[in-house]
Amino acid sequence: MIRTVQLAPVFLCLLLGASPAPAQTPPTPAQATPTPFAIPADMQVLFWPAERRERDLRRMPELIPHARIAPSPTPRPLPAGAPLALDPSAFMEAERVAGLLVIHRGQVRLERYGLGLTPTDIWDSFSMTKSLTATLVGAAVAEGAIRSTDDLVTDYLPDLAGGAYDGVRIDHVLTMTSGARWDEDYTRATSDVARFYLTPPPADADATVAYLKALPRAHPPGEHWNYNTGETNLIGVLVARATGRPLAGYLKEKIWDPAGMESPAFWMLDAQGRESGGCCVSATLRDWGRVGLMALERGVVPGGQIATPDWFGTATAQRIDFPENDRGYGSQWWTRGEGAQFEAAGIFGQLIHVDPTRDLVVVFLAAWPTATGRQRSDARLAMIEQIRTALE
């Protein structure tokens, strides 16, 4: 297990926001050739006024191109259970929570909405998407499109060769231990995460591959953890190349249909018209709950087996240890309590909390005034504790 002394300054995914320009028609998942377009750079979600985030995080497909994922033909029922003796209204108002869902033993025990969100509205997930992209790697391994996560990244992306990713295995990228130098600081316009979306790619080159190929190496592969949204985008490129499928189409086939999602979802596209593996699937609160159930059940869902139980066991295990707090990291999933619980997390308060020992999934959709914050994270954790107490 790799031990790291300090988390990245800001450790969750940044979405490059759109200006209020007229919406473009998003390409369909089956589109053979992505259509490039200009991503507006005049505004970023990170710097939007809080009021705009509360209004527009449900409207992202109207503001910037997304690929649409159709709902499952066989939606998974979420039966109602006994209501929890818990009123989260004050918490939701104080923490700007748009949706709170508690699924216990397969039954909905609490479902609340705020900020004008309704059960049929979608909400941007930010880096919760990373956990979906990692699951698509597991699906590609299960079907043989990817031989093993011990394979070199450059075996599948030969145009990446000649830089910091030489000798880097897929597993290194999944655990964010590639050793490539990457700056995930959202407060500086010169950081990699800020420049990544604004750097024009060379002609006939994938934007993600071109940017990451130019990175220098800071550490030997496998020795140092560093949060890197660009690398999850790279995982998405690798899955699309290995399977020959756009990520949105592969998500529908491997997760959205078998897991029984009842509503359409939307995946943000980059400037070249390809899905951004590291960020920004928008979906309904209940469908995010079904994502949590998929992980809780290790991929054994009504529509069949997603990836393998061993894949989920490894992906959600605490493979990276943060000794200064109660958290760790697996393969694009966060862990808590030395891996007893695990989470998909995104900036501005998005969280899927999974507690296998209690057969519990808790989903938060929110529009925090800031991207991250210890006080707000602690308030959310305290709410999870209240939920556990109410269940007991």
Look up the pTM and report it: 0.90
Provide mean pLDDT across the span 224-241.
96
45 vs 155, which has greater pLDDT? 155
Q: What would the two tokens of residue 172 be?
A: 């290194």
Residue 78 sits at φ, ψ, to 5 deg, of -120, 90
36 vs 230, which has greater pLDDT? 230
Q: What would the two tokens of residue 27 be?
A: 């390409």
Give the separation between CA 244 and CA 250, rounded to whole angstroms.
9
Tell me whether strands 320-321 and 327-329 are parallel, antiparallel or unpaired: antiparallel
Give the separation between CA 154 and CA 161, rounded to whole angstroms.
6
pLDDT at residue 236, rounded to an integer: 97
Look at residue 26 and tell me whether its pLDDT is greater than 80: no
Look at residue 8 and tell me whether its pLDDT is greater than 50: no
- Which of the 8 DSSP states describes residue 148? -
Closest CA to 331 of 156, 186, 162, 133: 133
pLDDT at residue 31, rounded to an integer: 40
329 touches 343 (CB < 8 A): no
Q: What would the two tokens of residue 297 be?
A: 């059940």
**Other beta carbons less than 10 A from residue 152's beta carbon:** 18
Instruction: Indicate the pLDDT class of residue 13, thresholds 50, 70 and 90.
Output: very low
Instruction: Indicate the pLDDT class of residue 191, thresholds 50, 70 and 90.
Output: confident
Give DSSP secondary structure letters for 211-223.
HHHTPPB-S-TTS
> pLDDT tens digit string along 285-315?
999 999 999 999 999 998 999 999 999 999 9
194 vs 344, which has greater pLDDT? 344
270 touches 311 (CB < 8 A): no
pLDDT at residue 34, rounded to an integer: 59
Residue 97 sits at φ, ψ, to 5 deg, of -95, 125
Give the separation between CA 255 and CA 299, rounded to whole angstroms.
9
Give the separation between CA 387 and CA 285, rounded to whole angstroms.
17
Give the separation between CA 268 and CA 79, rounded to whole angstroms.
31
Look at residue 234 and tell me whether its pLDDT is greater than 60: yes
Among 161-165, 216-220, 322-326, which stretch is predicted with the lowest mean pLDDT?
Answer: 322-326
362 touches 111 (CB < 8 A): no
Residues 27, 30, 31, CA angle at the centre, nearest 5°? 50
**Other beta carbons less than 10 A from residue 371's beta carbon:** 21
> Which runs of consecutive H residues, i.e. helices, occur in 197-344?
207-213, 229-243, 247-251, 285-296, 309-315
Look at residue 161 and tell me whether its pLDDT is greater than 60: yes
Tell me whether strands 2-3 and 320-321 are parallel, antiparallel or unpaired: parallel
Residues 14, 20, 21, CA angle at the centre, nearest 5°? 115
> pLDDT tens digit string along 57-87?
999 999 989 999 999 999 999 999 999 999 9
User: For all residues of the chain together, what is the average pLDDT?
Assistant: 88
Instruction: Indicate the pLDDT class of residue 354, thresholds 50, 70 and 90.
Output: very high
Give DSSP secondary structure letters for 38-63.
PPP-S--GGGS-HHHHHHHTT-HHHH
**Other beta carbons less than 10 A from residue 189's beta carbon:** 10
- Largest Cα–Cα separation, the chain: 59
Look at residue 324 and tell me whether its pLDDT is greater than 60: yes
3-state helix, strand, coil in the chain (%, to 5): 35, 15, 50
